[in-house]
Amino acid sequence: MPGQHLPPLRKKNEQKEGWIMKVLLLNGSPRKEGCTFTALGEVARTLNEAGIETEIFQAGNPDKENVKAAVQKMKVADALVVGSPVYWASPSGQIIEFMDQFVSMAGNDLLYKPAAAVASARRAGTTATLEVLTKYFSFYQMPIVSSNYWNMVHGNTPDEVQQDEEGMQIMRILGRNMAWLLKCIEAGRKNGVDMPETEEKIKTNFIR
């Protein structure tokens, strides 16, 4: 609804006992509480409703120390959501610089953890943005979580994003789908379904 704001995210000391899973959400906009944050907030709220802990991390600053702080958080996170505004029909330069460092530093802490990308735009460039962000996940064998449309919201302000009813629904369904997958993985683990065996990486350069 116009002008309606999201309920505040749960603070750490208010978290329910028994929350065993955690999702790290990276906000790749230099605007801390803008449109991308609004979209991620809806995903986080839905995850919280499913009993899963969340943290939205400000990743719009790609300084090495900030990236390192996110890498530490990824060690204990069970899943990852990366959000970005669309800049020139692509992810923000800030999130690309952030992710290039983040994935190579986080490495094995990403393996097999569910992941999703979210794009926020005034109008165009969303699917190209999602495609770029999703490539980080597929390199690290992360199951990619989807919704009932591609994960995008439209707006130039948080209020406009909240008026994008379809976009907000996409975020809620994405959160529920991620919660479901996390619980399935946990149930599988408890019943002896372990992560797959991996192999030493083979790297070729198209030349023998």
Q: Work out which of 21, 86, 106, 145 binds ligand FMN, going by CB under 6 A.
A: 86
Q: For residues 189 and 172, give the distance between their C-alpha atoms in angstroms, rounded to a whole number.
A: 26
Which of 84/185 has CB closer to ligand FMN? 84
Q: Work out which of 23, 24, 25, 29 binds ligand FMN, going by CB under 6 A.
A: 29
CB of 91 to ligand FMN, least distance (A): 10
The answer to whether 52 and 83 are in contact (CB under 8 A) is no
Q: Work out which of 41, 62, 85, 114 binds ligand FMN, going by CB under 6 A.
A: 85
Kindly list the distances between the CA atom of residue 127 and the CA atoms of 14, 20, 130, 153, 156, in Å, as whole numbers in the listed order: 36, 33, 5, 11, 17
- Is 31 one of the binding residues for ligand FMN (CB under 6 A)? yes
Find the angle CA(102)-CA(107)-CA(109) to the nearest 5 degrees: 100
The tokens describing 15, both together, are 């978290």
Which of 41/114 has CB closer to ligand FMN? 41
The tokens describing 80, both together, are 């990852």
Identify which range of 67-75, 84-92, 136-144, 185-193 contacts ligand FMN by CB under 6 A.
84-92
CB of 121 to ligand FMN, least distance (A): 3
- Is 82 one of the binding residues for ligand FMN (CB under 6 A)? no
Query: What is the chain's percent helix, strand, coil content, to nearest 5?
Result: 45, 15, 40
The three-state secondary structure class of 152 is: strand
Which of 113/154 has CB closer to ligand FMN? 154
- Is 94 one of the binding residues for ligand FMN (CB under 6 A)? no
- Is 36 one of the binding residues for ligand FMN (CB under 6 A)? yes
The residue with its CB nearest to ligand FMN is 34
Mask: binding to ligand FMN, 101-140, rule CB under 6 A, as x and -?
Answer: -------------------xxxxxx---------------
Q: Work out which of 88, 139, 149, 180 binds ligand FMN, going by CB under 6 A.
A: 88
Sign of CA dihedral 181, 34, 120, 106: negative
DSSP string, 103-122: HHHHGGGSTT--EEEEEEES
Q: For residues 30 and 38, give the distance between their C-alpha atoms in angstroms, rounded to a whole number.
A: 14
Number of helical H runs and strand E runs in the chain = 6, 6
Report the interface residues with ligand FMN, using CB under 6 A. Answer: 29, 31, 34-36, 85-89, 120-125, 155-156
